[in-house]
Amino acid sequence: MDEWFDSDHVKAAIGWHAINDSLQGPSAPGTAYVLLHDHAADVMGPAVRSWGFVRGGMGTLTAVMADAVRDAGGEVRTDANVERILVDGGRAVGVTLTDGEEIAAGQVLSNADPQRTFLRLVDETDLPAPFLQQIRGYRCEGTSMKINLALERLPELAGHPAGLQPYHAGIMEFGSTLADMDRDQALARRGEAAEDSHVEICFPTVHDPSLAPAGRHIMTIDVNSQPYALRGGWDGIRDRRADQVIGQLERSFPGLSGSILHRQVLSPLDLERVLGLTGGHALHGEMTPDQLWFMRPVRGWANYRTPIRDLYLCGAGTHPGGGVTGANGRNAARQALRDAARRRFDRRSLVRAGRRKEGGPW
């Protein structure tokens, strides 16, 4: 940034991506990739770029995926919490639900993060010790608080014309300099929630009015430098911290607090409780170079397979990392299908060999 720009504001506006879902400050080596990951598709032009809003909300995407499964003859079950992945002879053979039901399977694909999969759903005795050590060292501590607001009206920036403006349609960043981000991230590493830290907001209802009643709006707020491992815990300060963030934004959006009809506040701990994200990390683990490509989630196991045969990872803890791209699941599915086809071929070969030995037809 210093090589190309003079303005601290420009550096911050571009460089804040470097600390997204990370405990590292922007001056830490390796954070440049975190910045570049969000813009990887830009070089291919707007026809390829995939970031955007889903009409009807993100739930529409999973509903369409569920319909595709049913159309293919599959079954989708909800409210069926998995207690344990069943392993027999080093091979995944199904799952046990929290209600005690066992479901047999030829293959098991886990969309949970790597630490939840291997440290909570699998018996450690079924995994090699070196692999377990790598998984325990995998960095997966979230640093973002999520605040969702239901608003009576669309907020307006002080000093700007009233009504819908171009800034409402984009993603807005509120923060200070890269040096300040370094300071805030250092606080987070010490277990302190930084105040007046970098904040990202957007208004999904500007693009999709169906998400709220007529005239009403939704505002989503991501607050950085809010550590999962907070000193004293989150339950006692969650709402107070949210009040501070809203006060911070009200300096730019006068009257914001008075227009709030409802709010949802999710600390990193809440993201773990509600969504099953270990450490409250939205990307299933930090996106630094030592946890990417052939080292995601760990070195030697980046091909979606795991040390347990017929158990695969397909979530954001695999290559190419976080972001709703579908690439992780597609790659994992290809690997699982390839292995299944190879086993069928091997079984047929064994049967044919047996027939030939007995003098039967080849």
> Is the Cβ–Cβ distance between 146 and 153 less than 8 Å?
no
| Nearest residue to 148 (alpha-carbon basis) of 69, 268, 260 | 260
The domain spans of the chain are 8-51+141-278, 58-139+282-345
Tens-digit pLDDT string for the chain (362 aa): 889 999 999 999 888 888 888 899 999 988 888 788 767 656 555 555 556 788 898 899 999 999 999 999 999 999 999 999 999 999 999 999 999 999 999 999 999 999 999 999 999 999 999 999 999 999 999 999 999 999 999 999 999 999 999 999 988 999 889 999 999 999 999 999 999 999 999 999 999 999 999 999 999 999 999 999 999 999 999 999 999 999 999 999 999 999 999 999 999 999 999 999 999 999 999 988 899 999 999 999 999 999 999 999 999 999 999 888 889 999 999 999 999 998 877 666 656 666 555 554 43
> Is the Cβ–Cβ distance between 324 and 61 less than 8 Å?
yes
The whole-number pLDDT of residue 151 equals 98
> Is the Cβ–Cβ distance between 298 and 312 less than 8 Å?
no
Domain 8-51+141-278 has CATH 3.90.660: yes
SS3 label, residue 110 = strand
| Helix 178-189 and helix 8-15, axial crossing angle in degrees, nearest 10 | 50
The whole-number pLDDT of residue 76 equals 96
DSSP class of residue 164 equals: -
| Nearest residue to 220 (alpha-carbon basis) of 238, 242, 202 | 202
Q: Which CATH architecture has domain 58-139+282-345?
A: 3-Layer(bba) Sandwich (3.50)
